[in-house]
Structure 1
Amino acid sequence: MQTLKLLVFFTWITVFSCGQRPVEAQSKTKWLTLQQVTDSLQKQKRPVLIDLYTDWCGWCKVMDKKTYANKQVGAYLQDKFYAAKVDAESKEKITWNGKAYTFNQNYRTNDFAVYLTRGQLSYPTTVIIPVDGEPQAVPGYLTPAELELLVKYFGEGHYGKKGFDEFQKSFKATW
């Protein structure tokens, strides 16, 4: 009888805990579709952050698990940006600012990725599109602290007013 009680207890604990997501997972970055970003920009201007990735990219997966799952990263992006994930190798038509982008056989990627990176394809790439500005692509894996510097430069309105080097010298990381 005691064994049965223990079995029921552990089964209950397992079922209960599987239904609960860790706090960090609850706070991870909330991604929008590009259409949702476009619709949101019609209502309120904000910078856009695009995580440009591929399915085969190992560092893209690490960035998802370590950077975009970070509680502070998720909260900041939710507050200051419209964030979207884009598969660079998508064969689907992608529409952005009234222009359609399709899969490019020569690059074996979508022309939207070529546009965002100015042809300098690398994964992952974090692309920030400032309000009324052109895409700024930053290739490579970024830790939460490295991403903090970048997103706060754009999210706090320093882009276009203060040089990045000047901003970086006075920046104090908090993540």
Structure 2
Amino acid sequence: MIRNSILALFILRLFVLPSLLTAQDAGGVKFENKPLKEILDIAKARNKLVFVDCYTTWCGPCRKMANEVFPQKMLGDYMNHAFVSVKIDMEKGEGIGLVKQWDINSYPTYLVLDADGNEKFRMLGYFEPQALIDTLNVKLRNDTPSVLEQRYEAGERTPELIREYIAELSRVNRLNRVETVAEEFCNRRPETLLSDEEAFDIFCTYITNPDNPSFLYVYKHRSEFISKYGAQIGEMLEDRWRMYAKSFYLTDVGTDEFKGYDKLKMDEYENFMKQNGVSKAAEYTMMYKLPASIIMNDKELLFKNLEQSATMAGISQSQFDYACSTLEKSLTEKSEREQLEKIKELRKQLNNSVK
């Protein structure tokens, strides 16, 4: 019996295992387990492009591609001939730096680079093997983003090109690049936004940071823009002032848990708004300060924000009442309760005046 088992194991090793290993070696995409610099050197030596699978361990489509698509022989035959391929976890090692450098915002993202590391194009999401081959073939033939980028880098700045280039960048989720291109276009000559409707449409779609020179120009001349484009432009500008205050919220780096707001930066932003003629600056920041101060468990800060918000019509009554009830639970001194009642009375006076 033992002799037969040994013989069976010998046959398995001699015939079956080699055939399995040969099939594994022959099939599927071969990913090099090397740093990017070495990958580029290999690509240069072999005169090939580089295919980069940008993934994370928690990404479901990434795992599906790794387990079901990349092992396919038909895909391996195609890609191993055309590319030097590498997988990079964007949350570990060199991936942490590359995620910013490459402007990666969703997973999986696939980059095709030349041997110098320049991006030729990118693709997003899950692909069946044949669909991936077809898409790569089309991209390699057309190389559309590179053509548009070449025109952009050559100095062309027509609204038509900017819109087309931004649309292509948006399709592959290069959001930082979208912002850069839109800002550069609008900031070059913001005075033309009043006469050029296509250019102004780009401004309305992509310029959301009130610190942007073109935004400040439009806001300064808002009466002219409202006169030409309608009252909704004034509302849009005010909304962007208000919503930007949320960028000063604080979250825990490890857990992404909300921690409150940066008091210094929020106050600086409020002063910046006032300097630029935003009449509701204090109200816009208070819309974020008040709920955040509840989370921060800072009694003194909550008292201060409640007192200020009591006379602000833009602060909803429900938001004000919730902050009051939260604060009330932590009060132990009679003087504190009396102070809270005075704040409530201020709010009541505001409500009566509105009626």
- The one-letter code sitting in structure 1 at the alignment partner of 2:126 is Y
Give me the whole-angstrom Cα distance separating, in 2, the residues matched to 1:53 and 1:119. 10
Give me the whole-angstrom Cα distance separating, in 2, the residues matched to 1:115 and 1:135. 15
**How far 1:51 sits from its partner (Å)?**
0.7
- CA separation of 1:158 and 1:135: change in aligned 2, threshold 3 A: closer
**How far 1:112 sits from its partner (Å)?**
0.7
Which residue of 136, 146, 157 corresponds with 2:121? 136
Which residue of 60, 64, 67 corresponds with 1:65? 67
- SS of the aligned residue for 2:142 comes to coil
Retained in 1: the 8 A contact 2:121–2:143? no
1:30-109 correspondence runs (5 A): 30-32=30-32, 33=34, 34-43=36-45, 45-90=47-92, 92=93, 94=94
Equivalent residue number for residue 111 of structure 1? 97
Greater RCO, CA 8 A, separation 6+: 1
Equivalent residue number for residue 23 of structure 2? 23
- The one-letter code sitting in structure 2 at the alignment partner of 1:127 is L
Q: Does 1:120 align with 2:118?
A: no
- SS of the aligned residue for 1:37 comes to helix
Give me the whole-angstrom Cα distance separating, in 2, the residues matched to 1:70 and 1:60. 15
Give me the whole-angstrom Cα distance separating, in 1, the residues matched to 2:43 and 2:5. 53
- SS of the aligned residue for 1:110 comes to helix
**How far 1:27 sits from its partner (Å)?**
2.3
- CA separation of 1:55 and 1:25: change in aligned 2, threshold 3 A: farther
- The one-letter code sitting in structure 2 at the alignment partner of 1:59 is P
- SS of the aligned residue for 1:52 comes to strand
Give me the whole-angstrom Cα distance separating, in 2, the residues matched to 1:5 and 1:111. 57
Which residue of 142, 145, 158 corresponds with 2:142? 158
- The one-letter code sitting in structure 1 at the alignment partner of 2:39 is V
Give me the whole-angstrom Cα distance separating, in 1, the residues matched to 2:37 and 2:27. 23
- SS of the aligned residue for 1:138 comes to strand
Structure number having the greater helix percentage: 2
Give me the whole-angstrom Cα distance separating, in 2, the residues matched to 1:35 and 1:28. 23
**How far 1:135 sits from its partner (Å)?**
5.2
Give me the whole-angstrom Cα distance separating, in 2, the residues matched to 1:25 and 1:65. 15
Retained in 2: the 8 A contact 1:125–1:141? no
Give me the whole-angstrom Cα distance separating, in 1, the residues matched to 2:72 and 2:9. 30
- CA separation of 1:44 and 1:15: change in aligned 2, threshold 3 A: closer
- SS of the aligned residue for 2:48 comes to coil
Give me the whole-angstrom Cα distance separating, in 1, the residues matched to 2:51 and 2:77. 14
- CA separation of 1:7 and 1:127: change in aligned 2, threshold 3 A: same
Give me the whole-angstrom Cα distance separating, in 1, the residues matched to 2:53 and 2:81. 17
**How far 1:45 sits from its partner (Å)?**
4.7
1:11-40 Cα deviation digits (max 9, x unpaired): 223434345425155322222332232213
Which residue of 6, 10, 13 corresponds with 1:12? 10
Root mean square deviation of aligned Cα: 3.2
- SS of the aligned residue for 1:82 comes to strand
Larger CA deviation: 9-18 vs 28-37: 9-18
Q: How many residues align?
A: 142
Structure 2-normalised TM-score?
0.34
- SS of the aligned residue for 2:21 comes to coil
Larger CA deviation: 124-133 vs 59-68: 124-133
1:102-158 Cα deviation digits (max 9, x unpaired): xxxxxxx71312333x24232x22222357853533222221012111222244x43
- CA separation of 1:136 and 1:44: change in aligned 2, threshold 3 A: same
Structure number having the greater strand percentage: 1
Seq. identity, %? 20
- SS of the aligned residue for 1:127 comes to strand
Structure 1-normalised TM-score?
0.63
- CA separation of 1:148 and 1:8: change in aligned 2, threshold 3 A: same
Bigger radius of gyration among the two: 2
